[in-house]
Structure 1
Amino acid sequence: MKKSLVAGLISCVPLIGLSQQFTGYTYDNYSGVHGMLQNPASVAASKYKVNINWFSMSAMAGNTAYELKKDNFTHFKFSDLQENRDYFKSPNNNNKTLWMNTDILGPSLMITTGKKSGFGLYTRVRTLVNEFNLSDKTFRSFGNDSAFYNTTIQENNLQAKAHAFADAGLTYGRIIYSSPNHLLKMGITGKFVMGLAAASIYSNKALVNITKNDHINQLEGDVNVRYSGNLDAMDNKDNELLDVLKKSTNNYGWGFDLGFQYEWRPDNSGWLATDQTPYKLRINASVNDIGSVKYSNSEHGNSYTMNASGLSTDDLDKKDGESIDDYFTRLENMHIITKQAHGDNFKVKLPGTFRFDADYHLYKRLFINAGTVVNLLNKDKNQYTAHYATSFTITPRLEKKWFSLYSPLFYNTLNKKMAWGAGLRLGQVFVGSSSILSNFFSNKNVTAADFHIGITTSIYQRVKTRRHKAPEMVQEAVVEKKEEPKPVETPKPQTVVETKIDTVEKKVEVIKEVTHDKDNDGVVDEKDECPDVPGEVTLAGCPDKDKDGTADKNDKCPDVPGTAKYNGCPIPDTDGDGINDEEDKCPQVAGTAKYNGCPIPDTDGDGINDEEDKCPNTPGKPANNGCPEIKQEVVKKVAIAAKAIYYMSGKDIIQKVSYPKLDIVVKVLKTDPALQISIEGHTDNKGNQVTNLKLSAKRAEAVKKYLIKKGIAENRISAQGFGDSKPIATNATAAGRQKNRRVELHLNYQ
């Protein structure tokens, strides 16, 4: 890729945007939660007792810059694409726009709570990013040396803006007017929004002229950058997406949707019981996503003036291993960019829209819908806010309780093209696209594509019976049956049965055994092993004085409870440390319970146990609490390096001249991995005391960041600012104040 600022501006932010979601499907009377997102009024007295969305996703991508070869699309070949073979520059000469959409709906539900009301809950994650106003001339120059080099390129109002956020909403809907021929519903959704990330870059005017050897003849203009502070965590390659999201908890906001739904029922009394949808015309109108999210701005989220004329494009490249923070700092130090304005926070609006559709019931299960999504945000006035595109849809559909087939005709104002799609709802699953038919059956190359898919669970309302006419009276003949008299039964004479019971007397002889228990301990003498002494039944009549379960006759320690393993004696403690030998890992040497009977260890063998040794892994001296003595030449070397650390005036940016001295400190710390370092920042008393304290802390942190970048573990470094609280000279003179503006580096083993 050619090195140029224009290419950098275009490639530094993902070009993502958003149009409609779940196109065509949301107009279905059985779309459930998805219809609620389109218009919160639809939750009132819906066709469901309960509708649950487990997971669904809508995605859309398109552009006005490139066209993908149709064969690549139909055969799903999207890797190793080459220009002029697999994709081509679009022939239109308009400013270029690119967009893509992802809308993920998590566990969500809607419930009908009565004849007139219902409510819903939803969870949702969306991403929006727009790119606007890349001129056709600049776009054509990419990859065309003759059109790019030594040509002045001008860009006006170039924008790229991104927003990713999660929202959770509570919806309530109710019928507010009802008559035999008219029905009016109203619904509202309140939503809590957590901002995941936001970024924008725009330039009101930029002039670029670069020679073929990458010399910059002209690069002037403005560049305005805003991005949420949690994105700075991406500088650390060890951080994962979860680490970035954890830092986004302070970015949040609130929003709401408000909607109305009207149904016209011109002949409501004539609908059959089998009809699930008793309206002839349904009209939806709603405003959605009214609200905003407040973000903490990154330190480098500023407005800059830009001037790199006379430099090389190499100066604009982000170097290997250079963080975003270092990159912006370097550009500022080189005066390529000059900061003009900064705000600690910036606000990103939600993508507000007005949504309207009219649904006409053609015949039995056939419907046709005409709808629009109108963007309410001006893209030029909302330079931080990514938003939806205005779009129009006409969707005929066949709709039944467990089955729907729909085919939307979709027009997006971004690419000004009509697309034709298809969708299917079968039971609990739905899948569709607003462009699949036009992309597969048209001879043109592909500039946009989309799909949606989801799985739900539903419990339907019961449909009440209605008839065309009043039911006819049906007379039923009553047939009387005469009961014939039952014949009288003559009782049979009773028969006397004499039963003779022979009683057999059995004589049982009880032989009483005469037994003796001389010591009265409950064990007969014949079984008593100690018949002359009262004892325990469990021990065959023998006594157990210490009650340890070992009979006295076998107990070698009859007066002290013990264990059978040791013949009635306690478990021994050979070394007398209070821990018996079975639990003592060092039974021959007295120790402590903390170390399982072993003595406190001395890992480094310097004669100082680890609990008292401040450097337990490095042999040291008692005078240094077990740590070795730091050589004076090392202390002196680090102290000299500390005096050679210079900063930009009034800032915490370390000047490059300081790097060689700091590298000496790095070498010292790498030579002895046990060494630790504390960094102290100090200022003079000029200016505000609070500001000085903050500046001194930032300067100490700047040294810490440098050492970490050079490979020193963070847990070996501490940094603290003291402001002007610890002067080493008088602040009354310039020389004294210069001495007080310092960084001190202290080595230690603790």
Structure 2
Amino acid sequence: MKKSLALGLISCVPLFGLSQSIVGYPYDNYSGVHGMLQNPASVAGSKYKVNINFFSFGTVAGNNAYELKNDKVKKFDFSDLKENEDYIKSANADKKNLWFNTEILGPSFMFTSGKKSGVGLYTRARMLFNEFNLSDKTFRFFGSGNDGIYDQNIQESMLQVKAHAFAEAGLTYGRIIWSAPHHQLKMGITGKYVVGIAAASYYSNKLAINIAKSDIINQLEGDVNVRYSNNLDNVDDQFDDVLKHLSDNHGLGFDLGFSYEWRPESSEWLSNDQTPYKVRLNASLNDLGSVKYKNSENGNSYAANASGKTTDDLDKQDGETFDEYFTRLQNQGILSTKAHEDNMKVKLPTTFRFDADYHIYRRLFINVATIVNLINRDKNQTSAQYPTTFTVTPRLEKKWFSLYTPLYYNTLNKKATWGAGMRLGPLFLGSGSILSNVLGKQNVSNTDIHLGFTLPIYQRVRTHKHKSQPKQEVKEEPKQEVKVEKVVETRTDTVVKSVEVVKEVVKEITHDKDNDGIVDEKDECPDVAGEVALAGCPDKDKDGVADKNDKCPDVAGTAKYNGCPIPDTDGDGINDEEDKCPAVAGLAKYNGCPIPDTDGDGVNDEEDKCPATPGKPANGGCPEIKQDVVKKVAIAAKAIYYMSGKDIIQKVSYPKLDVVVKVLKADPALQISIEGHTDNTGKPETNLKLSAKRADAVKNYFIKKGIDASRITAQGFGDSKPIAPNKTPQGRAKNRRVELHLNYQ
């Protein structure tokens, strides 16, 4: 539908996507290469002599917009899904978010290179996709048969869509850097070379939209920021163009990790194939780095204005490349370039990862972990990211077999899932949501799966026998009875008499006439009860200044002003210490200063419609436009001619338009508004569309001549504002016109 095409410029929210990493499995002591990717320190002192990964991948799907009905999941029936029957819109009113990422691990290996060190090498490909901050109101308009979108004011802010696909090769080195009888600390680092496959982003700080039922766009205004790698400009179905420019897009990155193990006295239940720690703590910074891309020529910051256009104008035509699409939108005046950068820097999805692993008993463990996103999505609108997640994973772990059941929470859709997985020799398979999605009753908004095939070659483990020490008998000494009653009684009498003597002595040598707890010798105000902190002097207003020194004893003040409040010399309600203009009354808004007059024309900035240009009070602070200039522009407007029935300006009009360009360049503060008008011949909606296109044609001419787009507005009014009767050919000719209006606002 056409309305869907218009909304397509804003965003779209599919039901499922692929996401980060592998849930639960990397915390296993036998996860090998996957544990190394989670934390490079794990390559040192590992369970493996050699571990080779042939192939593995992991995906997590999620959003907070749509929910798939639970019975469809249980039946694994995903064909011909219909809204409100098979899937529904989530009832929450949050901003709609989506993450769509996948990870494929190619041939990789790690090996133990000594008693204290290990080395790893891996190859991996990843793709990340995010959509953030689509408003709930706009999202409700998605779907078939919803005409409620028409004539609705839609406001979007901080809307983002980001995608990044890249491949990497990494080299890891880990080493045990501290070892004690009950403690061990490991450190690891990974350096990676990254090849960027493709990157793209769209974001808008503010966008306002209103679409009429006739599919004419009443309003579509705001900023549109598009960035994408130049290999996407002419991409075709075979994806050949994406792969042609891989050498242009590359970068470096690294991971840094630490792992600490607490190893108490070995217990009898620890067998030779188990892990000797009681607690293991892992912490790492992953994916520090970026990829540099060649930005497309169309990867610009644009001012968007499609008011008066139709939804068809926004539709990307069949066979039209991205380059051709953006060029057409610019030629139609829908997009006006504001800024361009030749290169595009995309950060890797940087995260902080921490987990605590507790060895419960024998082969039973429980792990608590978090992956924290470190990319600020509001400040970095071009870099795709992983969501912040939390995981609690109990597991049964043996050399050739592991069973784990993670409880997984994702902060973007604020839902928890329960899953299960297993490792059986070289194979592993699992999901962080399978149990909650299949056994639970809630509708499904996220799901995941991971699997892989590896070759494990384990370390040889020596068996240690533990000898128990015989208990030694301790002989108790016979207790002796001591009579102390008489001694206690005698010493008590002595203490009582001593206390009485001390009291009498203190009474004789101390005098406190005003009973304020300070002896008269140290009391500066011995006749009046006062404060201990003020040497016995009173402080009536409790401001910390004694009354004898307080010039304002009845009003709390500060010591700096001898007990008086901070003064306000100009009486504007802002004390002198915070008042930047203490001698002149002002406003708190301007830190105590009067309203400024930037251009010095006698009209303050709050009332000045042209605060940066000196003008006259009668014109609201704007300069007066000279009449000869107004006349030149009016004459030029009457000499603008178009091809019949089209929005193409005839060359005979160029000299007069150049006169207007000269006027605008002579005064950079001047702005111009362009109005397109038609007669009443034909359909009103057709006339409105044609008048808007003709006004935009004039605007585009001025822009090509070097006039900034921010100084120009263009709007079509169709046949709604005639200046002569449409009953005669002469009247209709007068109504077919373009008006040019100069202003400073």
**Superimposed CA distance per residue, residues 480-511 of structure 1 (whole angstroms, 9 cap, x where no aligned partner):** xxxxxxxxxxxxxxxxxxxxxxxxxxxxxxxx
**Counterpart selection for 2:258 from 245, 257, 260:** 260
Q: 2:407 — aligned with what?
A: 409
Q: 2:232 — aligned with what?
A: 231
Q: 1:41 — aligned with what?
A: 41
Q: 1:195 — aligned with what?
A: 196
Q: 2:136 — aligned with what?
A: 136
**Counterpart selection for 1:388 from 378, 386, 389:** 386
Q: 2:291 — aligned with what?
A: 293
Q: 2:312 & 2:18 partners in 1: Cα distance?
A: 35
Amino acid at match of 1:110: M
How many Å apart are 1:70 and its aligned residue?
A: 1.4
Note if 1:186 corresponds to 2:187.
Answer: yes
Amino acid at match of 1:35: G
Q: 1:337 — aligned with what?
A: 335
Q: 2:468 & 2:222 partners in 1: Cα distance?
A: 80
Query: Secondary structure, in 3 states, of the residue corresponding to 2:100?
Result: strand
Query: Secondary structure, in 3 states, of the residue corresponding to 2:213?
Result: coil
How many Å apart are 1:3 and its aligned residue?
A: 2.5
Q: 2:440 — aligned with what?
A: 442
Query: Secondary structure, in 3 states, of the residue corresponding to 1:245?
Result: helix
List aligned pairs for 1:498-647, cutoff 5 A. none
Q: 1:661 — aligned with what?
A: none
Q: 1:421 — aligned with what?
A: 419
**Counterpart selection for 2:317 from 310, 316, 319:** 319
Q: 1:123 — aligned with what?
A: 123
How many Å apart are 1:319 and its aligned residue?
A: 1.9
Q: 1:657 & 1:428 partners in 2: Cα distance?
A: 71
Asked if structure 1 preserves the Cα contact closer than 8 Å seen for 2:39 and 2:256, the reply is yes
Q: 2:339 & 2:96 partners in 1: Cα distance?
A: 29
Q: 1:347 & 1:320 partners in 2: Cα distance?
A: 31
Amino acid at match of 1:91: A
Q: 1:159 — aligned with what?
A: 160
How many Å apart are 1:19 and its aligned residue?
A: 5.1
Q: 1:687 — aligned with what?
A: none
Amino acid at match of 1:126: R
How many Å apart are 1:78 and its aligned residue?
A: 1.9
Q: 1:272 & 1:466 partners in 2: Cα distance?
A: 10
Ranges of 4+ aligned residues in structure 1 off by more than 6 Å: 12-18, 655-658
Amino acid at match of 2:115: K
Q: 2:234 & 2:314 partners in 1: Cα distance?
A: 22
Q: 1:403 & 1:29 partners in 2: Cα distance?
A: 11
How many Å apart are 1:325 and its aligned residue?
A: 1.4
Amino acid at match of 1:173: G
Amino acid at match of 1:32: G
**Counterpart selection for 2:429 from 415, 431, 440:** 431
How many Å apart are 1:10 and its aligned residue?
A: 4.7
Q: 1:15 & 1:172 partners in 2: Cα distance?
A: 40
**Superimposed CA distance per residue, residues 190-228 of structure 1 (whole angstroms, 9 cap, x where no aligned partner):** 000000000000111111111111011111111000000
How many Å apart are 1:243 and its aligned residue?
A: 4.0
Q: 1:202 & 1:15 partners in 2: Cα distance?
A: 21
How many Å apart are 1:308 and its aligned residue?
A: 1.0
Asked if structure 2 preserves the Cα contact closer than 8 Å seen for 1:133 and 1:156, the reply is yes
Q: 1:59 — aligned with what?
A: 59
Query: Secondary structure, in 3 states, of the residue corresponding to 2:58?
Result: strand
Q: 2:12 & 2:445 partners in 1: Cα distance?
A: 22
How many Å apart are 1:318 and its aligned residue?
A: 1.5
Q: 1:178 & 1:18 partners in 2: Cα distance?
A: 41
Q: 2:280 — aligned with what?
A: 282
What 5-or-longer segments of structure 2 have no aligned partner? 471-646, 651-745
Asked if structure 1 preserves the Cα contact closer than 8 Å seen for 2:13 and 2:65, the reply is no
Deviates more, 1:102-111 or 1:134-143: 134-143
**Superimposed CA distance per residue, residues 218-248 of structure 1 (whole angstroms, 9 cap, x where no aligned partner):** 11111000000111231x45xx224421222
Query: Secondary structure, in 3 states, of the residue corresponding to 2:234?
Result: helix
Q: 1:630 — aligned with what?
A: none
Query: Secondary structure, in 3 states, of the residue corresponding to 2:303?
Result: strand
Query: Secondary structure, in 3 states, of the residue corresponding to 1:23?
Result: coil
Q: 2:10 & 2:424 partners in 1: Cα distance?
A: 42
Number of residue pairs matched by the alignment: 473
Q: 1:452 & 1:245 partners in 2: Cα distance?
A: 27
**1:30 to 1:86, Cα distance in 2 relative to 1, 3 A:** same
Asked if structure 2 preserves the Cα contact closer than 8 Å seen for 1:272 and 1:466, the reply is no
Note if 1:108 corresponds to 2:104.
Answer: no
How many Å apart are 1:360 and its aligned residue?
A: 0.4
Q: 1:71 — aligned with what?
A: 71
Q: 1:287 & 1:259 partners in 2: Cα distance?
A: 6
Asked if structure 1 preserves the Cα contact closer than 8 Å seen for 2:201 and 2:382, the reply is yes
**1:417 to 1:446, Cα distance in 2 relative to 1, 3 A:** same
Query: Secondary structure, in 3 states, of the residue corresponding to 2:320?
Result: coil
Amino acid at match of 1:165: F
How many Å apart are 1:443 and its aligned residue?
A: 1.0
How many Å apart are 1:456 and its aligned residue?
A: 0.3
Asked if structure 2 preserves the Cα contact closer than 8 Å seen for 1:15 and 1:129, the reply is no
Q: 1:531 — aligned with what?
A: none
What 5-or-longer segments of structure 1 have no aligned partner? 473-654, 659-750
Q: 1:485 — aligned with what?
A: none
List aligned pairs for 1:210-221, cutoff 5 A. 210-221=211-222
Amino acid at match of 2:201: S
Q: 1:149 & 1:393 partners in 2: Cα distance?
A: 44
Query: Secondary structure, in 3 states, of the residue corresponding to 2:435?
Result: helix
Q: 1:160 & 1:452 partners in 2: Cα distance?
A: 26
Amino acid at match of 1:47: K
Amino acid at match of 1:60: V
How many Å apart are 1:471 and its aligned residue?
A: 12
Give the CA RMSD over aligned residues: 2.1
Q: 2:250 & 2:106 partners in 1: Cα distance?
A: 19
Amino acid at match of 2:171: L
**Superimposed CA distance per residue, residues 309-352 of structure 1 (whole angstroms, 9 cap, x where no aligned partner):** 11211111122222221111111111111001111101000010
How many Å apart are 1:293 and its aligned residue?
A: 0.3
How many Å apart are 1:45 and its aligned residue?
A: 1.6
Bigger radius of gyration, 1 or 2? 1
Deviates more, 1:82-91 or 1:291-300: 82-91
Asked if structure 2 preserves the Cα contact closer than 8 Å seen for 1:16 and 1:101, the reply is no
Q: 1:656 & 1:22 partners in 2: Cα distance?
A: 57
**1:13 to 1:241, Cα distance in 2 relative to 1, 3 A:** farther
How many Å apart are 1:61 and its aligned residue?
A: 1.0
Q: 1:384 & 1:15 partners in 2: Cα distance?
A: 23
Asked if structure 1 preserves the Cα contact closer than 8 Å seen for 2:234 and 2:321, the reply is no
Amino acid at match of 2:126: R
Amino acid at match of 1:50: V
**Superimposed CA distance per residue, residues 606-648 of structure 1 (whole angstroms, 9 cap, x where no aligned partner):** xxxxxxxxxxxxxxxxxxxxxxxxxxxxxxxxxxxxxxxxxxx
Query: Secondary structure, in 3 states, of the residue corresponding to 1:119?
Result: strand
Q: 1:225 & 1:15 partners in 2: Cα distance?
A: 24
Q: 2:15 & 2:101 partners in 1: Cα distance?
A: 10
TM-score, structure 2 normalization = 0.61
Q: 1:145 & 1:211 partners in 2: Cα distance?
A: 14
TM-score, structure 1 normalization = 0.61
Asked if structure 2 preserves the Cα contact closer than 8 Å seen for 1:17 and 1:127, the reply is no
Q: 2:146 & 2:455 partners in 1: Cα distance?
A: 58
Identity of aligned residues (%): 68
Q: 2:22 & 2:175 partners in 1: Cα distance?
A: 25
Q: 1:98 — aligned with what?
A: 98
How many Å apart are 1:269 and its aligned residue?
A: 7.5
**1:232 to 1:335, Cα distance in 2 relative to 1, 3 A:** same
Amino acid at match of 1:45: G
**Counterpart selection for 2:247 from 246, 249, 257:** 249
Asked if structure 1 preserves the Cα contact closer than 8 Å seen for 2:269 and 2:362, the reply is no
How many Å apart are 1:5 and its aligned residue?
A: 6.0
Q: 1:258 & 1:16 partners in 2: Cα distance?
A: 32
Amino acid at match of 2:33: V
Amino acid at match of 2:435: L
Q: 2:268 & 2:441 partners in 1: Cα distance?
A: 48
